[in-house]
Amino acid sequence: MKGTRILAMALAAMMIIGLVPAALADEPMKISVASYMFGPVDNDNDVITPLVEQMLREKHGIDVDIEVVYIEQANYGEILNTRLAGGTAPDVFLAQSATMLDSYYDQGVIKTWSEEFFKENAPDVYSFIMNGAAYGDLAGDVEAWKKAAMKDGEMIVLPSFKPDGSMPYKTLIYRGDWLDKLNVAEDQLPKTVDDFVALMGRFTKEDPDGNGKDDTYGCSITAMKALFGAYGLGIGFSGSTSYWVNRDGKLVNSDVTPEAKEVVGILAKMYADGLIDPEFVAGKESVEGSYWAISHGMVNGLYGVSANASIDHYRLKEVMGDDGGRCAQEYWAVNGEDSRFVYGPWPAGPSGDYGWEVGTPVAVSESAVYNADMSDEKLAVIFKILNAFATDDELYMTAFAGIEGTHYEKVEGGTIKRLMGNEELNAVGVWGCRSLYGADRAFSQLGYDMAFYKDPSIANRLNWFKKDQFNSYIQDAVPETLPSNDLFGELNTIRDETWVAMIRGEKSLDEWDAYVETWLNAGGQTLTDEANAWLNGQ
């Protein structure tokens, strides 16, 4: 099938790259890759992967047969683990998280290599990273990148390395029609915890949807988390791991701080007053099988505010001249093209804290790891491909954007407008090689310009984050994975079950000290000791 596709695209490929075909190797090296994708590739209509293969062969002397493997994001970890167990995992797949990366390493299912091996086979990528990325502005994060890439003196992953990694991400998104019904102007949106709780009360009790029924609630579970930010805490409730905070020179996990207790108390009062959906744990936000950032409860009028997504997910059409952000499209589809939503500031707590968690330029979630079963020869070829994408802008644009005029068009300012939806682009092969050129971009100036420095959607977000109380700033005091990080699985369950019971009134807040003791005895003390040992070693 692939040979047929290559022949079908030969004329188009010649027009694009303008090269005389080079002699082919007897047998191209087969490489399978499961990148972050929005939908499956249609092998009969994949026009991009054959072009990438031909450009690699004719321009760089790399003869490969690339198999794009689709694994849906909602079940990526589960499906991949099944394939790893059955010996059918792709050559290149996603690390997914620091915790999963450690698990893969401990299981021995991912390949390791030396820094010198990487430098030898991807010299331009190595230089790009060591020099602080596109414009040198990440020079201070190079050592953090190397630490994240290595385990026991060997490299195990190629972490992402990007300035937007430390840019504020999520924000509060309000239903505009509810604000209009209650005569709340944008400049009157709550900037304190008390005002936020008061507005949640109005959303619940003043029939903001105008249907005459008592069927609305104040906020979603992610918007509830904004209250923890008002007390300076980055909280994983419910499901993920919370941040560490420095309290008088010692590190404490946010989950067992007095501030967390205070916020749980506020939420318990809100719940008792009927401001929180009784089914808030099951959630009406991300729904299995749908795009993860869509807050279905907010979009469909169950509650008035969510923090499940970013400003870019709710990007207005005029920013990029397209159909708007992915969540914005869903909102308009449900509520009408004239409906509006409003970006809101973070409510501040008694000490003036506010916001949501922000990361660092270094991360491993969408970064590539490599199947331990592959040979050193294949890994060397994969790194040579990585280097080709970093040095050949035409090759990168083909994989990243497709064919100009068909899949994208250039726009003023140095970026592009895509002419199809994400799923349609994936179907024809765009982004199929994503994990072969980096994470979401190539390690090149063009890659970084396209994804960040010259992207109008980034400028739009940054302009909003300059506004008062939009500039979220809560960072984890421990930017590294602790040796006993896997203990967080049980600890997070203990936290979530206890907090839910306290919020619902099934447990008294007076039981907080007993909860803390349980948390510490279940491994929290071990992690606290490791966190402070790390701090003392800095």
pLDDT tens digits, residue range 504-538? Answer: 999 999 999 999 999 999 999 999 999 999 999 87
Render the burial of 284-299: b for 16+ CB within 10 Å, e for the rest. Answer: bbbeeeebebbbbbbb
Q: State residue 214's pLDDT score.
A: 95
Q: State residue 8's pLDDT score.
A: 41
What residues form DSSP beta bridges with 228? none
Alpha-carbon Rg for the chain in angstroms: 25
Query: 10 Å Cβ neighbour count for 403?
Result: 19
13 in helix, strand or coil? helix
Q: Which residue has the tokens 């099938």?
A: 1
C-beta separation of 259 from 351 below 8 A: no
Q: State residue 377's pLDDT score.
A: 98
What are the E-state strand segments in 425-494? none
CATH numbers and ranges of domains, the chain: 2-164+362-463 (3.40.190.10), 172-357+482-536 (3.40.190.10)
Q: State residue 14's pLDDT score.
A: 43
Residue type for 389, please?
F
Q: State residue 16's pLDDT score.
A: 42
Q: State residue 238's pLDDT score.
A: 82
Q: How far apart (Å, rounded) are the C-alpha atoms in residues 169 and 327? A: 15
C-beta separation of 219 from 305 below 8 A: yes
Structure tokens at 327: 């969540």
Q: State residue 2's pLDDT score.
A: 42
Average pLDDT per block of 10 residues along the chain, 538 residues long = 41 42 67 95 94 98 97 91 95 91 94 98 98 95 93 95 89 97 97 98 97 95 94 91 95 98 98 93 77 93 95 94 93 97 97 92 92 97 98 97 95 87 95 94 95 91 92 88 91 96 97 98 98 92
Q: What is the dihedral of CA 420, 425, 427, 431, to 10 degrees?
A: -170
Q: State residue 12's pLDDT score.
A: 44
Q: Which residue has the tokens 């915790």?
A: 99
C-beta separation of 369 from 93 below 8 A: yes
